[in-house]
A and B are shown apart, each in its own frame.
Chain A
Amino acid sequence: MISAKARTEFLAFLAILFAGLALRHPGFLGLAVVLATHLVFGLILVPKISGSALSAQRIVEPKRLHEGHLLQIQVHVRNLGRKPVELRISDGPYPGFSVTEGKTWAWGVVAPQEELSLSYVVRPARGIYKLSGVQVEILDPLGLTPRRLELPCPGEVAVLPRVEDLLRVDTRPRRTLTAPGTARARRGGMGLEFHGVREYRPGDNVRRLAWKVFARRDEPAVVEFEEERAADVAVILDVRARAYFAAPSELFEFSVRAAAALAQYFLRQGNRVALLKYGAVLDWIFPGYGRRHGERILRELAEAKLGKSEVFAELDHLPTRLLPAGSLIVLVSPLILGDEDTLGKLVARGYRVFAVLPDPVSLEFGRVETEEEKLVRRIMFLERWVLLRRLRRAGVTAVVWDVRRPLSPLLRRLRGERLCL
């Protein structure tokens, strides 16, 4: 590879040579000789080492982490040849990695069987990163024709979204599965919450006798608890760029975190959880249980990006066939006027729809504002108020989340409320 230095020197040589020939001035030609000698030596002194005489190793610790945590990367390049070689190694840069400690490059003379190392600490943004090879520059003594190689050193780092530990989300799906869980099944059975009283049948546990009812009616009765079972939950993350017009990237990050927290919560409760990313394309993870499924959902959310698509500009194309009938649909989206019609249709089809609306107003206008900003805030607030009224009328449970505060207390207060403002 020809460096800018070699190019500049060669051009200077040509300029001086032509000027000398044109002016017939021997002094100029003498200057050209000095430059030519430098260039000749530059090419002759190039070290004869092949790329196979070098090997690279990258140690990434940890390979799976949540956003906000630190990632340490070490790169070692070993000289397998028989001669010392001067190297400049560099790793990255990877978009989304902000270096907090150390340097992403190192420069040194590496003796045979020795290695040149670099170490740095980064704070990565959410995403799945495919780490490419390590860039190595084999330097010649005069720096005229450095050789650049990429030593293969593939790796992957999964930076998952930050997951808030939700304590309780009080929701009741229309239909439950047969597996035990924590969703109330609207029928008597084993559970913790009181469901009702019925007449005693042979075989009923006598400990569950409702003595007061027995005394009043003069016939034995037993207390029934509400059966708790697993339910189908579909978490839908809205990735339509137009829904996040106020503060796209920041608000979207909060939405991803909310979706991750809700998916993890419902999985922890023993539910069968599916994930749908609705926006540029439809990304769907089929319903499933357990930790591995949770990890799959987190990885999918780690890769979530905002997208634009004319087809999915409205919520009309929600693939309802993919959503199990009677399931709980948890939609994380700031929503826009007009979305309420689609959500209303879902309610009419027998789904229970629960929407978490990260509030762009709280994010955008949290600070002291000018009069103009106050007016904008007021208009946005009124728009959302109208949207929420329509959602309530459509039978959708909706919460507006002030993203500066944790989500957990908001969802705990949800009990009995259909609309939180």
Chain B
Amino acid sequence: MPVILGLIGVLLAWLGWGHPLHPPWLLTLIPLGLWIAGLTTKIRTLFSLGFWGFVILSAILAVLGKTSLGLATLGVTILAWDGLSFQGATLLGMAKRYFWSALTVGVGIGFALAALFLHMTVNFWAIMGVLFSAWFLLRLFARGAVHGGERSGNRSKSAPMT
């Protein structure tokens, strides 16, 4: 499933490019190749590299003025990226996860299109970016502190393995 979604991402990128027979197109296959290699070799770093490849691809589409296709590529990429982290989950868990993933991507694209339509200023984006980053990091630190406490409480007192 993640590979199929990745392939859709590549196809979207090709569509956005506008010159299907142009040699640089083949470069768009690199992120997908990295994911396939990651699935084969079980090296998780390849998944991250592939994700970065797709993000760069979306950014290139945005630079070329194909923002909608760039958003679509990124949306499909996130779906596939989530799918990669679901490897090994049960079918029930998988369906639930894909539902939430698709909902998140849909809402995200909706917000992005709305924001683009409203033509917000750069300052607005900068403030929103800083606020979001601060909230995200604070939330993560708070969670880390809470879990750290719980983990030490539940940790087994048994001696180290011999």
Contact residues in B for A26 (Cβ distance below 8 Å): 67, 116, 119-120
Q: Is the CB of A30 within 8 A of B115?
A: yes
Q: Which of A3, A31, A39 contacts B136 (CB 8 A)?
A: A39
- The residue from A5, A31, A40, A133 contacting B62, defined by CB atoms under 8 A apart: A31
Asked if B158 lies at the interface with its beta carbon under 8 angstroms from chain A, I say: yes
A303/B162 contact (C-beta < 8 A), A143-B85, A152-B156 known: yes
Minimum CB–CB distance from B70 to chain A (whole Å) comes to 6
Query: With A34-B74, A41-B104, A143-B85 known to touch, is A132 a contact of B151 (CB < 8 Å)?
Result: no
Is B147 among interface residues, defined by CB-CB distance under 8 A?
yes
Check A132 against B161 for contact (C-beta < 8 Å): yes
B116 to A, closest residue via Cβ: A30
Collect the chain B residues with CB atoms within 8 Å of residue A21's CB: 122, 125-126, 129
Supposing A17-B125, A35-B74, A152-B157 touch, asked if A4 and B48 sit within 8 A by C-beta, the answer is yes
Q: State the majority secondary structure of interface residues on B.
A: helix
B104 and A12 contact, CB distance less than 8 A? no
Stretch among B7-15, B23-31, B92-100 lining the A interface: B92-100
Known interface pairs A86-B93, A149-B151. Does A31 touch B70 (Cβ–Cβ under 8 Å)?
A: yes
| Contact flags B40-69 to A (C-beta < 8 A → 1, else 0) | 000010001001100100110011010100
Q: A4-B44, A31-B62, A35-B74 are in contact. Are A143 and B67 (CB under 8 A)?
A: no
Contact of A45 among B100, B129, B150 (CB under 8 A): B100
Cβ–Cβ < 8 Å partners of A29 in chain B: 115-116, 120, 125
Inter-chain contact A36/B132, CB cutoff 8 Å: yes
Which of A122-130, A186-194, A281-289, A326-334 has 4 or more CB atoms under 8 Å from chain B? A122-130
Q: Does any Cβ of B come within 8 Å of A107's Cβ?
A: yes
Residue B3 interfacial (CB < 8 Å):
no
Interface size on B, residues (CB 8 A): 66
> CB within 8 Å of B: which of A326-367?
none
A1 and B147 contact, Cβ closer than 8 Å, known pairs A28-B62, A30-B62: yes
Contact A149 B74 (CB under 8 A): no
Chain A residues near B159: list those with CB within 8 A.
130
- We find that the number of chain A residues with CB closer than 8 angstroms to chain B is 70
User: How far in angstroms is the closest Cβ of chain B from A251?
Assistant: 21
Contact between B90 and A107 (Cβ–Cβ < 8 Å)?
yes
Inside 8 A of B39's CB, which chain A residues have their CB?
none
Q: In the complex, are the beta carbons of B93 and A145 less than 8 A apart?
A: no
- B140 & A38 in contact (Cβ 8 Å cutoff): no
Knowing A51-B154, A94-B161, A129-B162 touch, does A142 contact B100 (C-beta < 8 A)?
yes
Contact yes or no, A152 B160, CB < 8 A: no
Contacts of A163 in B (CB 8 A): none
What are the interface flags for B100-127 relative to A under an 8 Å C-beta threshold, 1 for contact and 0 otherwise? 1101110111011101100110100110
Specify the chain B residue showing the minimal Cβ separation from A154: B158
| A6: chain B residues within 8 A (beta carbon) | 140
Let me know if B17 is at the binding interface, CB within 8 A: no
The residue that B89 contacts in the complex, of A30, A51, A107, A149, with Cβ under 8 A, is A107
Bound complex: CA of A12 vs CA of B126, how far in Å? 16
Q: Mark A2-27, 1 if CB is under 8 A from B, else 0.
A: 11111011101111110111001111
Asked if residues A25 and B63 are in contact (CB atoms below 8 Å), the reply is: yes
A141, B100: Cβ atoms closer than 8 Å: yes
Chain A residue nearest to B51 (CB atoms) is A8
A150 touches B158 (CB 8 A): no
State how many angstroms separate the Cβ of A143 from the closest Cβ of chain B. Answer: 4
Max count, chain B CB within 10 A of own CB: residue among A1, A95, A148: A1
Select one of A19, A20, A128 contacting B162, CB under 8 A.
A128
Q: Which residues of A contact B108 (CB under 8 A)?
A: 33-38
The chain B residue with its CB closest to the CB of A131 is B158
Q: For chain A residues 243-272, which have a beta carbon within 8 Å of chain B?
A: none
Least CB separation from A14: chain B residue? B133
Q: How far is the CB of B148 from chain A (nearest CB, A)?
A: 9
Which residues of chain A have C-beta atoms less than 8 A from B122's C-beta? 21, 24
Asked if B115 contacts A107 (CB within 8 A), the reply is no
Which residues of A sit under 8 angstroms from B160, Cβ to Cβ? 130
In the assembled complex, B6 has its CB within 8 A of some CB on chain A: no
Q: Is A151 an interface residue (CB 8 A)?
A: yes
A356 to B72, CA, bound (A): 75
CB nearest neighbor in B for A37: B108
Which A residues are closer than 8 A to B by beta carbons? 1-6, 8-10, 12-17, 19-21, 24-43, 45-46, 50-51, 86, 88, 94-95, 107-109, 127-133, 139, 141-143, 145, 147-154, 303
Name 12 A/B residue pairs within 8 A (Cβ), A-sorted.
A26-B67, A27-B116, A30-B70, A38-B78, A40-B136, A51-B150, A129-B161, A132-B161, A141-B100, A142-B97, A143-B86, A150-B154
Chain B residues near A (Cβ < 8 Å): 44, 48, 51-52, 55, 58-59, 62-63, 65, 67, 70-71, 74-75, 78, 81-82, 85-86, 88-90, 92-93, 96-97, 100-101, 103-105, 107-109, 111-113, 115-116, 119-120, 122, 125-126, 129, 132-133, 136, 139-140, 143-144, 147, 150-151, 153-162
Which 9 residue pairs of A and B lie closest in terms of their CB atoms, listed nearest first? A27-B62, A37-B108, A133-B156, A34-B108, A27-B67, A30-B112, A143-B85, A154-B158, A33-B112
Q: A20-B125, A25-B63, A109-B93 are in contact. List 9 more A-B contacts (CB 8 A).
A: A5-B81, A14-B133, A16-B59, A21-B122, A26-B119, A31-B74, A50-B150, A51-B153, A143-B82
